[in-house]
Amino acid sequence: MVVRLAETLGLSLRERNALLMAAGYAPLFPESSLDDEALRPVREALGRVLEGHMPYPAVAVRPYGEVVAANDALAVLTEGAASWLLEPPVNVLRLAVHPAGMGPRVENLEEWGRHIIDSLRAQLLRSPDPSLDEFLSELETYVPPAAPGSDHLGFAVPLRLRSSDGELRLITTLTSFATAVDVTLAELHLEAFLPADEQTARILRARFG
C-alpha cells in the first residue's frame, strides 16, 4: 500500500524509500555509488552518448546541477570562467549564471537565468528540500529581474552565449533513465546542447569537429 501510494503521488525513488522508512519498512530501492562495478555499464553508456554528441556540449549531472561527466565541447561553456568554479564538483547551474562564470557572456541572462530558477522552483514545489531552497536563493542573487519579452524561438528559450568565435545560440534537451530502480541512476540526467541556428553549428563544428 505504501509503495502504491508513493507511485500515485509520483514520488522519486529517494522519496519512496523515505516514505517506506517512515512507515516502519526497510528501503526498497538501492542507492549505489556511481563508481560501483554494478553501474559500470551506465558509466560506459554515458561516455558513449557524451562522445557521440560531439561537436556540441553535453553533460551528465546529479540533482541540482552537479556534473559527473561531460564531453570536450563543454569548454565552450566554461571559457573564461574562474578556476574555482571549475573545481570538482562543478555545478553547471551555478556556472551558467554566476558573474565569475558564464553570466557576463550570456546575452539573455535575465530570461535564461529565470528559466533555470523557475525549473528549480518547480522541483522544490514537488519535493521540498532545504538545500535546494538555499541554492535557489543563491542563484537569484546572480540573475537580474526578467522583463517580459520575446527572446525565444517560439518553442524554447535559447541560450545566447558570446564566445571567442562569435555568438552561439543553443537549446537544450534533458534525458533520464526512465526505468531506473537504483536511486543514484534515477537521479542522473543528461543535458545536451543543440545549435539553434547554422552559424552556431558551424562554429562548434570548426572548433570541435
State pLDDT tens for residues 50-93.
999 999 999 999 989 999 999 999 999 999 999 999 999 999 99
Strands 166-176 and 189-195: antiparallel
pLDDT, one tens digit per residue, over 161-201 is 999 999 999 999 988 887 788 888 888 999 999 999 999 99
| In-domain check, residue 112 | no
Residue 3: which domain range? 1-30
Closest CA to 165 of 196, 197, 200, 194: 200
| DSSP letters for 110-138 | HHHHHHHHHHHHHHHHHS--HHHHHHHHH
> Closest Cα partner for 59 from 168, 170, 155, 137?
170
Phi, psi of 163 (to 5 degrees): -135, 170
- CATH number, domain of 49, equals 3.30.450.180
Residue type, position 77, single letter? L
pLDDT at 156 over 90: no
What's the pLDDT at 12? Answer: 81
Q: Do 59 and 70 contact (CB within 8 A), yes or no?
A: yes
- Sign of the torsion angle spanned by Cα atoms 193, 70, 104, 141: positive
Average pLDDT of the residues of the chain: 89
Q: Are residues 63 and 7 in the same domain?
A: no
As beta bridge partners, residue 176 has 189
Question: What average pLDDT score do residues 29-47 get?
Answer: 89
Is the distance from CB of 139 to CB of 120 less than 8 angstroms? yes
- Cβ atoms of residues 99 and 134 within 8 Å: no
Choice among 13-17, 131-135, 147-151, 172-176 with the minimum mean pLDDT: 147-151
- Across residues 115-141, what is the average pLDDT? 90
Same domain, 5 and 92: no
> Which has the higher per-residue pLDDT, 6 or 72?
72
| Selection from 60, 94, 93, 96 nearest residue 76 by Cα | 96
Looking at the predicted structure, is the pLDDT value of residue 46 above 50? Answer: yes
Same domain (yes/no): 78, 166: yes
Residues 25 and 45 in one domain: no
Task: Based on the fold, state whether residues 9 and 66 are members of the same structural domain.
Answer: no
Q: Is 163 within a domain?
A: yes
